[in-house]
Amino acid sequence: MKEPLRITVTGAAGQIGYAMLFRIASGEMLGTDQPVILQLLEIPPAMNALEGVVMELQDCAFPLLRGVVSTSQPEEAFSGADFVLLVGARPRGPGMERKDLLEANGAIFTGQGKAINDYASKNVKVLVVGNPANTNCLIAVNNAKDLNPEQFSSMTILDHNRAIALLAERTGVHIDEVQNLAVWGNHSATMFPELLSASVGDTPALELVTFDWYRDQFIPKVQQRGAEIIRARGSSSAASAANAAIQHMRLWSLGTRTITSMGIVSCGDYDITEGIVYSFPVTCGAGKIEIDKSRSLDDFCVERMRLTERELLEERDAIKHLL
Ligand code: NDP
């Protein structure tokens, strides 16, 4: 049997945490031969709720679950962590501007970046889910001075999955026939789900749908899907977000040659400003995320990619004192 790996989840008593922990403990993230220890971080007011979650984890008697730590101390939660899922974040409150939200989360992700740097495994892989995810990830990376920026990423696989599902529905095919789609930029309403390189079976996607549908319906629908779910459910997506986070970590650690989308620190590929956390089309191999550098993009793509890049640059400017 393999040695257990330590997985830290922050905001573990929240909606996404609740939809995620039981699946991680059952082996869906790292494989059914990989024992795990869960290290759960919450803020003090949520510790009671977290205790309830821990009791439910115990009551599942998962054979792979070799221990559960629940704590409100970051140094304890990140100690020896092999994988970190930063889910907890400050939600936007009444009257709060985007700038206030960035500021409130800035404090959380500065501290967590430093604690990961000081207490986690030197090979840790960190995924940021809590919003604004790209910029929270940027703050965490910049505060983990001894770690490689390649050890950090932010989640856009849910947006990628939403785009695949929408195109498959429109063209009347199964999900697995849609290939090579990409989501670029920020996990926000400026994200750019791109179809120029996508295919459905052996046919280019843009031969099967009209450009008007792509621009006027597909792109806005993917961008607004989170808001659509909030309107229908009365609260934000949780199960699909948890599913995407598990998928992100599984692909990153176990590898995939299928293109997906992840937010990573830009090294200037596709002319995107170096240093910002931007979603690119990627594959994963040997525990590393690799950008698909083979795409030819047209003026429409470049314009959309610049728009979402501009938003990320504005977010970076708002928190530059934290970097
Ligand atoms: P959720 O579990 O529903 O969401 C957690 C975070 O994930 C939010 O920032 C949410 O953004 C974000 N998110 C990212 N992508 C998605 C997506 N596609 N769909 C939905 N959400 C997405 O929030 P809860 O309020 O239920 O739980 C948060 C928990 O975090 C609470 O228990 C709180 O106590 C805790 N917390 C912990 C901290 C810590 O550990 N230090 C710090 C702050 C909070 P959005 O708000 O935009 O939906």
Nearest Cα neighbor of 167 from 200, 204, 197 is 200
CATH of domain 157-322: 3.90.110.10
Terminus-to-terminus CA distance in the chain, angstroms?
Answer: 42
Domain with CATH 3.40.50.720 in the chain: 5-154
Atom of ligand 1 nearest to the CA of 74: 41
Atom of ligand 1 nearest to the CA of 244: 18
Q: CA 28 from chain center: how many Å?
A: 17
Considering the candidates 160, 174, 187, 321, report the single residue annotated as catalytic: 187
Q: Measured between alpha carbons, how far is 263 from 282 in angstroms, rounded to an integer?
A: 9
What is the Å distance from ligand 1's center to 58 Cα? Answer: 23
Atom of ligand 1 nearest to the CA of 11: 30
236 lines ligand 1 (CB under 6 A): yes
Query: Quick check: 36 and 64 in contact, CB under 8 A?
Result: yes
Atom of ligand 1 nearest to the CA of 14: 27
What pLDDT band is residue 19 in, cutting at 50, 70 and 90?
very high
Cα dihedral 217, 221, 223, 224 sign: positive
What is the Å distance from ligand 1's center to 20 Cα? Answer: 12
DSSP structural state of residue 131: S
Residue range 31-57: average pLDDT? 98
Q: Measured between alpha carbons, how far is 85 from 295 in angstroms, rounded to an integer?
A: 30
132 lines ligand 1 (CB under 6 A): no
Query: Quick check: 276 and 309 in contact, CB under 8 A?
Result: yes
Task: Give 297-315 pLDDT, tens digit per residue.
Answer: 999 999 999 999 999 999 9
Beta pairing class for 5-10 and 36-41 = parallel
What is the Å distance from ligand 1's center to 270 Cα? Answer: 31
Radius of gyration of the chain from its Cα atoms, rounded to whole angstroms: 19
Residue with the nearest Cα to atom 20 of ligand 1?
237
241 lines ligand 1 (CB under 6 A): yes
Q: What percent of the chain has pLDDT over 90?
A: 93
Domain with CATH 3.90.110.10 in the chain: 157-322
21 lines ligand 1 (CB under 6 A): no
Architecture of domain 5-154: 3-Layer(aba) Sandwich (3.40)
Number of other CB atoms surrounding residue 73 within 10 Å: 11
Task: Give 254-267 pLDDT, tens digit per residue.
Answer: 999 999 999 999 99
DSSP structural state of residue 34: -
10 lines ligand 1 (CB under 6 A): yes
Structure tokens at 312: 């990320």
List, in order, residues 6 or more apart from 123 with CB less than 8 Å away: 82, 151
Residue with the nearest Cα to atom 32 of ligand 1?
14
Task: Give 127-156 pLDDT, tens digit per residue.
Answer: 999 999 999 999 999 999 999 999 999 999
Query: Quick check: 281 and 259 in contact, CB under 8 A?
Result: yes
What pLDDT band is residue 240 in, cutting at 50, 70 and 90?
very high
Q: Residue 105 is which amino acid?
A: N
Query: Per-residue DSSP letters for 12-80?
Result: TTSHHHHHHHHHHHTTTTT-TT--EEEEEE--GGGHHHHHHHHHHHHHTT-TTEEEEEEES-HHHHHTT
159 lines ligand 1 (CB under 6 A): no
Q: Measured between alpha carbons, how far is 139 from 86 in angstroms, rounded to an integer?
A: 12
Residue range 114-123: average pLDDT? 98
91 lines ligand 1 (CB under 6 A): yes
Burial 107-138 (b: 16+ CB within 10 A, else e): ebbbebbbbbbebbbeebbbbbbbbbbbbbbb
- For 65, how many CA atoms within 13 A lie in the half-sphere containing its CB? 21
249 lines ligand 1 (CB under 6 A): no
Q: What percent of the chain has pLDDT over 70?
A: 100
Residue with the nearest Cα to atom 35 of ligand 1?
11
- For 174, how many CA atoms within 13 A lie in the half-sphere containing its CB? 2
Residue range 225-247: average pLDDT? 94
Q: Is 160 a catalytic residue?
A: no
What is the Å distance from ligand 1's center to 289 Cα? Answer: 25
151 lines ligand 1 (CB under 6 A): no
Residue range 219-245: average pLDDT? 94
